Amino acid sequence: MPVQTLPPPVWTGRSDPEDGALALRMHHLAGKAGAGAALIGFCCDAGVVRNKGNPGAAEAPGAIRAALAGLAAPAGFDGFRDAGDIAVTGDDPGPGQDVLAAELAALIGDYRRVVVLGGGHETAFGSWQGLRRALPEAKIGIVNIDAHLDIRALGAAGASSGTPFFQIHQDDPHGFDYAVLGLAPEGNTQALTARAQDWGVDMIADRELQVSAEAGFAAIDAIAARNDALYLTVDLDVLPASVAPGVSAPAARGVPLHVVEALIDRALASGKVRLADMVELSPPRDTAGLSARVAALIARRLLI
Protein backbone atom coordinates (compact mmCIF):
# COMPACT_ATOMS: atom_id res chain seq x y z
CA MET A 1 0.00 0.00 0.00
CA PRO A 2 1.53 3.37 -1.01
CA VAL A 3 -0.54 5.18 1.63
CA GLN A 4 -1.56 4.17 5.14
CA THR A 5 -3.84 5.95 7.60
CA LEU A 6 -2.60 5.54 11.16
CA PRO A 7 -4.41 6.20 14.44
CA PRO A 8 -3.19 9.00 16.69
CA PRO A 9 -0.56 8.18 19.29
CA VAL A 10 -1.25 8.20 23.01
CA TRP A 11 -0.31 11.66 24.27
CA THR A 12 1.79 11.60 27.42
CA GLY A 13 3.92 14.05 29.35
CA ARG A 14 4.63 15.73 32.63
CA SER A 15 1.80 16.31 35.10
CA ASP A 16 1.83 18.57 38.16
CA PRO A 17 -1.39 17.76 40.09
CA GLU A 18 -0.05 19.50 43.19
CA ASP A 19 -0.44 22.81 41.35
CA GLY A 20 -4.15 22.33 40.76
CA ALA A 21 -6.51 22.47 37.80
CA LEU A 22 -4.59 25.18 35.93
CA ALA A 23 -1.35 23.15 35.72
CA LEU A 24 -2.28 21.81 32.30
CA ARG A 25 0.05 20.98 29.45
CA MET A 26 -0.84 20.37 25.83
CA HIS A 27 -0.97 16.59 26.24
CA HIS A 28 -3.76 16.97 28.80
CA LEU A 29 -5.96 18.62 26.17
CA ALA A 30 -5.43 16.14 23.32
CA GLY A 31 -8.80 14.60 22.50
CA LYS A 32 -10.76 16.90 24.79
CA ALA A 33 -14.50 16.87 24.13
CA GLY A 34 -15.72 20.02 22.42
CA ALA A 35 -12.27 20.94 21.10
CA GLY A 36 -12.26 23.69 18.49
CA ALA A 37 -9.11 22.65 16.63
CA ALA A 38 -7.75 19.49 15.06
CA LEU A 39 -4.38 18.32 13.85
CA ILE A 40 -3.30 15.61 11.45
CA GLY A 41 0.13 14.36 10.41
CA PHE A 42 1.36 13.90 6.84
CA CYS A 43 4.36 11.56 6.98
CA CYS A 44 5.94 11.93 3.57
CA ASP A 45 9.46 12.11 2.16
CA ALA A 46 8.54 11.48 -1.47
CA GLY A 47 8.30 15.15 -2.46
CA VAL A 48 11.59 16.13 -0.81
CA VAL A 49 13.44 13.22 -2.42
CA ARG A 50 12.03 14.11 -5.85
CA ASN A 51 13.16 17.69 -5.25
CA LYS A 52 16.72 16.44 -4.67
CA GLY A 53 16.56 17.33 -0.98
CA ASN A 54 17.52 15.52 2.19
CA PRO A 55 14.93 12.96 3.36
CA GLY A 56 13.62 12.82 6.91
CA ALA A 57 10.41 14.86 6.80
CA ALA A 58 8.31 11.70 7.15
CA GLU A 59 9.45 11.54 10.80
CA ALA A 60 8.42 15.13 11.54
CA PRO A 61 4.83 14.68 12.81
CA GLY A 62 5.97 12.35 15.59
CA ALA A 63 8.85 14.62 16.58
CA ILE A 64 6.62 17.69 16.71
CA ARG A 65 3.99 15.91 18.80
CA ALA A 66 6.65 14.78 21.27
CA ALA A 67 7.97 18.34 21.65
CA LEU A 68 4.48 19.84 21.80
CA ALA A 69 3.11 17.49 24.47
CA GLY A 70 4.94 19.07 27.41
CA LEU A 71 4.31 22.72 26.56
CA ALA A 72 2.05 24.63 28.92
CA ALA A 73 -1.55 24.96 27.77
CA PRO A 74 -2.60 28.59 27.29
CA ALA A 75 -5.44 30.12 29.30
CA GLY A 76 -8.85 29.42 27.84
CA PHE A 77 -7.65 26.86 25.27
CA ASP A 78 -10.39 24.32 24.59
CA GLY A 79 -8.12 21.54 23.37
CA PHE A 80 -7.67 19.73 20.09
CA ARG A 81 -8.43 16.49 18.32
CA ASP A 82 -5.57 14.42 16.94
CA ALA A 83 -6.79 12.79 13.74
CA GLY A 84 -3.72 10.57 13.38
CA ASP A 85 -1.30 10.29 10.46
CA ILE A 86 -1.31 9.74 6.74
CA ALA A 87 1.87 7.83 5.91
CA VAL A 88 3.13 7.81 2.32
CA THR A 89 5.36 4.80 1.74
CA GLY A 90 5.71 5.00 -2.04
CA ASP A 91 7.83 7.36 -4.15
CA ASP A 92 4.85 9.36 -5.45
CA PRO A 93 3.30 11.97 -3.12
CA GLY A 94 0.10 12.11 -5.21
CA PRO A 95 -1.88 9.29 -3.56
CA GLY A 96 -1.02 10.68 -0.12
CA GLN A 97 -2.09 14.18 -1.14
CA ASP A 98 -5.44 12.77 -2.28
CA VAL A 99 -6.01 11.04 1.07
CA LEU A 100 -4.94 14.16 2.96
CA ALA A 101 -7.38 16.28 0.95
CA ALA A 102 -10.26 13.93 1.71
CA GLU A 103 -9.47 13.84 5.44
CA LEU A 104 -9.12 17.62 5.62
CA ALA A 105 -12.36 18.30 3.77
CA ALA A 106 -14.21 16.47 6.55
CA LEU A 107 -12.21 17.98 9.42
CA ILE A 108 -12.51 21.58 8.21
CA GLY A 109 -16.27 21.28 8.32
CA ASP A 110 -16.16 20.31 11.99
CA TYR A 111 -13.44 22.55 13.46
CA ARG A 112 -12.65 26.26 13.47
CA ARG A 113 -9.08 25.48 12.40
CA VAL A 114 -7.15 22.42 11.27
CA VAL A 115 -3.36 22.14 11.51
CA VAL A 116 -1.33 19.74 9.35
CA LEU A 117 2.09 18.57 10.49
CA GLY A 118 4.12 17.76 7.35
CA GLY A 119 5.98 16.30 5.59
CA GLY A 120 7.81 18.17 2.88
CA HIS A 121 6.16 21.12 1.18
CA GLU A 122 4.35 18.75 -1.15
CA THR A 123 1.97 18.72 1.84
CA ALA A 124 0.66 22.04 0.52
CA PHE A 125 -1.10 20.62 -2.53
CA GLY A 126 -3.06 18.16 -0.39
CA SER A 127 -3.78 20.88 2.16
CA TRP A 128 -5.13 23.29 -0.44
CA GLN A 129 -7.23 20.63 -2.15
CA GLY A 130 -8.83 19.76 1.19
CA LEU A 131 -9.67 23.38 1.94
CA ARG A 132 -11.09 23.90 -1.55
CA ARG A 133 -13.32 20.82 -1.18
CA ALA A 134 -14.53 22.04 2.21
CA LEU A 135 -15.19 25.57 0.92
CA PRO A 136 -16.02 25.11 -2.79
CA GLU A 137 -17.41 28.62 -3.32
CA ALA A 138 -14.97 30.57 -1.14
CA LYS A 139 -12.22 32.87 -2.31
CA ILE A 140 -9.06 31.42 -0.76
CA GLY A 141 -5.82 33.32 -0.23
CA ILE A 142 -2.51 31.57 0.43
CA VAL A 143 0.06 33.01 2.85
CA ASN A 144 3.36 31.13 2.64
CA ILE A 145 6.08 31.99 5.19
CA ASP A 146 8.98 30.47 3.33
CA ALA A 147 12.41 31.03 1.82
CA HIS A 148 11.24 29.51 -1.46
CA LEU A 149 8.47 30.13 -3.99
CA ASP A 150 7.88 26.40 -4.66
CA ILE A 151 6.36 27.10 -8.06
CA ARG A 152 8.64 24.88 -10.15
CA ALA A 153 7.01 23.48 -13.26
CA LEU A 154 6.27 19.77 -13.27
CA GLY A 155 9.20 17.92 -14.82
CA ALA A 156 9.78 14.31 -15.81
CA ALA A 157 9.91 13.22 -12.16
CA GLY A 158 6.45 14.65 -11.49
CA ALA A 159 5.17 16.53 -8.46
CA SER A 160 7.62 17.33 -5.67
CA SER A 161 8.11 19.59 -2.67
CA GLY A 162 9.13 22.30 -5.13
CA THR A 163 5.95 22.23 -7.24
CA PRO A 164 2.87 22.54 -4.95
CA PHE A 165 1.95 26.14 -5.71
CA PHE A 166 2.50 25.57 -9.44
CA GLN A 167 -0.03 22.72 -9.12
CA ILE A 168 -2.47 24.93 -7.23
CA HIS A 169 -2.16 27.56 -9.97
CA GLN A 170 -2.87 24.88 -12.55
CA ASP A 171 -6.01 23.85 -10.65
CA ASP A 172 -7.29 27.39 -10.05
CA PRO A 173 -5.48 29.91 -12.28
CA HIS A 174 -8.14 32.60 -11.99
CA GLY A 175 -8.56 32.33 -8.23
CA PHE A 176 -4.85 31.95 -7.43
CA ASP A 177 -3.91 34.53 -4.77
CA TYR A 178 -0.49 33.91 -3.23
CA ALA A 179 1.88 35.82 -0.94
CA VAL A 180 5.35 34.60 0.05
CA LEU A 181 6.96 36.17 3.11
CA GLY A 182 10.65 35.60 3.89
CA LEU A 183 11.79 34.83 0.37
CA ALA A 184 15.54 34.23 -0.05
CA PRO A 185 16.46 35.79 -3.42
CA GLU A 186 19.56 33.60 -3.61
CA GLY A 187 17.45 30.47 -3.30
CA ASN A 188 15.05 31.19 -6.18
CA THR A 189 16.09 31.26 -9.82
CA GLN A 190 15.22 34.08 -12.22
CA ALA A 191 12.80 31.68 -13.92
CA LEU A 192 10.83 31.21 -10.70
CA THR A 193 10.90 34.90 -9.86
CA ALA A 194 9.68 35.83 -13.33
CA ARG A 195 6.86 33.28 -13.08
CA ALA A 196 5.84 34.68 -9.71
CA GLN A 197 5.80 38.22 -11.06
CA ASP A 198 3.71 37.11 -14.04
CA TRP A 199 1.21 35.48 -11.65
CA GLY A 200 1.00 38.55 -9.41
CA VAL A 201 2.58 36.86 -6.38
CA ASP A 202 3.27 39.26 -3.49
CA MET A 203 6.90 38.66 -2.45
CA ILE A 204 8.57 40.01 0.69
CA ALA A 205 12.28 39.20 0.89
CA ASP A 206 13.97 37.88 4.03
CA ARG A 207 16.20 40.99 4.13
CA GLU A 208 13.10 43.14 4.69
CA LEU A 209 12.12 41.09 7.74
CA GLN A 210 15.31 41.07 9.78
CA VAL A 211 14.22 43.46 12.53
CA SER A 212 10.43 43.41 12.53
CA ALA A 213 7.44 41.94 10.74
CA GLU A 214 6.09 45.30 9.61
CA ALA A 215 7.10 44.76 5.98
CA GLY A 216 4.89 41.67 5.83
CA PHE A 217 1.83 43.04 7.60
CA ALA A 218 0.47 44.96 4.61
CA ALA A 219 0.67 41.85 2.40
CA ILE A 220 -1.18 39.78 4.99
CA ASP A 221 -3.84 42.42 5.55
CA ALA A 222 -4.41 42.85 1.83
CA ILE A 223 -4.77 39.15 1.03
CA ALA A 224 -7.07 38.66 4.04
CA ALA A 225 -9.26 41.59 2.98
CA ARG A 226 -9.92 40.26 -0.52
CA ASN A 227 -10.54 36.61 0.41
CA ASP A 228 -13.10 34.67 2.41
CA ALA A 229 -10.59 32.25 3.91
CA LEU A 230 -6.83 31.94 4.32
CA TYR A 231 -4.55 28.95 4.02
CA LEU A 232 -1.41 29.62 6.08
CA THR A 233 1.65 27.48 5.40
CA VAL A 234 4.93 27.72 7.32
CA ASP A 235 8.11 26.20 5.93
CA LEU A 236 10.63 25.89 8.74
CA ASP A 237 13.51 26.54 6.33
CA VAL A 238 12.53 30.22 6.47
CA LEU A 239 14.21 30.37 9.90
CA PRO A 240 17.97 30.89 10.34
CA ALA A 241 20.03 27.70 10.49
CA SER A 242 21.04 28.62 14.03
CA VAL A 243 17.38 28.31 15.07
CA ALA A 244 16.22 25.54 12.70
CA PRO A 245 19.22 23.42 11.66
CA GLY A 246 17.09 20.30 11.26
CA VAL A 247 15.49 21.04 7.91
CA SER A 248 16.20 19.82 4.41
CA ALA A 249 17.69 23.16 3.29
CA PRO A 250 18.99 25.24 6.26
CA ALA A 251 18.97 29.01 5.70
CA ALA A 252 22.17 31.03 5.73
CA ARG A 253 20.25 34.25 6.53
CA GLY A 254 16.65 33.38 7.33
CA VAL A 255 13.96 35.31 9.17
CA PRO A 256 14.20 35.59 12.98
CA LEU A 257 11.79 33.50 15.01
CA HIS A 258 10.12 36.49 16.67
CA VAL A 259 9.35 37.93 13.23
CA VAL A 260 7.90 34.64 11.97
CA GLU A 261 5.73 34.47 15.09
CA ALA A 262 4.50 38.02 14.50
CA LEU A 263 3.60 37.19 10.88
CA ILE A 264 1.67 34.14 12.04
CA ASP A 265 -0.16 36.19 14.67
CA ARG A 266 -1.11 38.79 12.06
CA ALA A 267 -2.60 36.15 9.79
CA LEU A 268 -4.48 34.51 12.67
CA ALA A 269 -5.80 37.89 13.83
CA SER A 270 -7.69 38.18 10.54
CA GLY A 271 -10.02 35.45 11.79
CA LYS A 272 -9.88 33.82 8.35
CA VAL A 273 -7.23 31.10 8.77
CA ARG A 274 -9.23 27.87 8.48
CA LEU A 275 -6.24 25.70 7.65
CA ALA A 276 -2.56 25.89 8.51
CA ASP A 277 0.34 23.55 7.98
CA MET A 278 3.99 23.40 8.93
CA VAL A 279 6.54 21.57 6.80
CA GLU A 280 10.13 20.54 6.16
CA LEU A 281 11.27 19.51 9.65
CA SER A 282 13.81 16.70 9.21
CA PRO A 283 14.40 14.95 12.56
CA PRO A 284 17.44 12.94 11.35
CA ARG A 285 19.20 16.29 10.77
CA ASP A 286 17.94 17.73 14.05
CA THR A 287 20.49 16.05 16.30
CA ALA A 288 19.89 18.26 19.36
CA GLY A 289 16.11 18.44 18.88
CA LEU A 290 16.19 22.25 18.65
CA SER A 291 14.22 22.46 15.41
CA ALA A 292 11.48 20.18 16.79
CA ARG A 293 11.14 22.43 19.83
CA VAL A 294 10.83 25.48 17.60
CA ALA A 295 8.27 23.63 15.47
CA ALA A 296 6.29 22.80 18.62
CA LEU A 297 6.17 26.48 19.61
CA ILE A 298 4.73 27.29 16.19
CA ALA A 299 2.27 24.35 16.29
CA ARG A 300 0.96 25.51 19.67
CA ARG A 301 0.48 29.00 18.25
CA LEU A 302 -1.43 27.63 15.26
CA LEU A 303 -3.77 25.50 17.37
CA ILE A 304 -4.94 28.13 19.86
- Is-contact 65 117, C-beta < 8 A? yes
Q: Sign of the CA dihedral 204, 178, 190, 194?
A: negative
SS3 150: coil
Asked if residue 3 lies in contact with residue 90, where contact means CB atoms within 8 angstroms, the answer is: yes
Would you say 150 is a known binding-site residue? Answer: yes
179 contacts 144 by C-beta, under 8 angstroms? yes
Has 202 been labeled as part of a binding site? no
CA separation for the pair 137, 223 (Å, rounded): 17
Give CA–CA dist 221/265, Å, rounded.
Answer: 12
By 3-state DSSP, what share of the chain in percent is helix, strand and coil, each rounded to 5?
A: 40, 20, 40
3-state secondary structure of 178: strand
177 is in an annotated binding site: no
Is residue 298 a contact partner of residue 264, using CB atoms and an 8 Å limit? yes
Annotated ligand binding at 121? The verdict is yes
Ligand-binding annotation for 265, yes or no, is no
Query: Under a CB-based contact definition with an 8 Å cutoff, are residues 122 and 55 in contact?
Result: no
> Looking at the DSSP assignment, which residues form a beta bridge with residue 276?
115, 232
- Longest Cα–Cα distance of the chain, Å, equals 60
Residues comprising the binding site? 121, 146, 148, 150, 235, 237
Residues annotated as binding site for Mn(2+)?
121, 146, 148, 150, 235, 237
